[in-house]
Amino acid sequence: MGGTAYLFAAFSITWAIIFFYTFSISRRQKSLEIQIDKIREILEKSLRP
Amino acid sequence: MTRKPNFLATFKLITFFMMFIALGAIFFYAPVEKTMGIVQKIFYIHVPSAFFAFFAFFITFVASILYLFKKEHKWDVIAFCAAEIGLTFCTIVLITGPIWAKPIWNVWWTWDPRLTTTLILWFTYVVYLMLRGVVRENQRSNFSAVFGIIGFANVPITFFAIRMWRTIHPVVITAKGLNISVPMKHTLLLTFIAFGLLFSSLLISRIRLEKMRVNTGEIKALIEDKIHFG
């Protein structure tokens, strides 16, 4: 394996880790937004006369 | 209310462009090192990752102290989020290091003081995050804060390992400054700025997410109480 292959591997893995971490944050945020929407629905139903 | 997300979106966009500029500088501006060749360019992601991992653990340390003194929940959130991001950067260090070591030292891993202390540091913060998942909620913040303070002791040991013991790990930052050429210094500075922006943007997003999670949990508990007990 030449120097370029090692360089490519290092940069690819670094970008992959950053991408997956960012993706995991956005996925967790989406899941919380769904929960908030459900709470809003429950509250709206309970506040209806 | 809408100003904060816009600020974060702009900040993320600047980070994204800065990362591209840094990549351009690494591949098209920084010269190829004579002895190690092109593989030396791993240095530009390895060193800033290590610096921001240490910095993140320092934030955990300070926030843990502040939590124990003030008992304000925000410090526990900051400590936890910084530890998670620090661990991410530390993982990058532990992966890029052996990839750089293989063509230069002819081994993926050696039990050198710097490498060993970095691995111990990584395990320390893995344990910190795991501990938060198993400790009871009423004890979690106190336990984590104590662990965050004790765990930080390994950071200066890791940093000074290459100065205290005989090691094969190169010493780039000396008392005379940086042991690299001027274009290399410029590129390193650019990557430091890019990684700094990335670190800040991840930390802000993660803290915001954690606060949102805690608030949602509290509201859910209140609603459930209301349903069960009228």
Structure tokens that stand for B95 in this block = 């992966």
Is B176 within the bounds of a domain?
A: yes
- Contact between chains at A3 and B100 (C-beta distance less than 8 A): no
Share of chain B above pLDDT 90, in %: 62
H helices of B106-181, where? Answer: 113-134, 137-151, 154-164
Per-position pLDDT tens, chain A of length 49:
678 899 999 999 999 999 999 999 999 999 998 988 888 888 788 777 6
Of A10, A14, A39, the CB nearest to B220: A39
Structure tokens that stand for B36 in this block = 């190690």
Task: Locate the chain B residue with the closest alpha carbon to A6.
Answer: B99
- Contact between chains at B92 and A32 (C-beta distance less than 8 A): no
- Confidence check: pLDDT of B209 > 70: yes
Number of domains forming the structure of chain B: 1
- Confidence check: pLDDT of B229 > 80: no
Phi-psi group of B37: left, alpha or beta (phi > 0 → left; psi -120 to 50 → alpha; rest → beta): left
Per-residue pLDDT of B29-52, as tens digits, reads 999 888 888 999 999 999 999 999
Nearest to A38 by CA among B206, B223, B212: B223
The 3-state DSSP class for residue B8 equals helix
Is B144 within the bounds of a domain?
A: yes
Backbone angles phi, psi at B188, to 5 degrees: -65, -40
Is B27 within the bounds of a domain?
A: yes
C-alpha–C-alpha distance, residues B112 and B115, integer Å: 5
- Confidence check: pLDDT of B213 > 80: yes
B212: domain range?
Answer: 17-229
How far, in Å, are B115, B165, B214 from residue B202 at the CA level?
A: 26, 34, 18
- Contact between chains at B39 and A3 (C-beta distance less than 8 A): yes
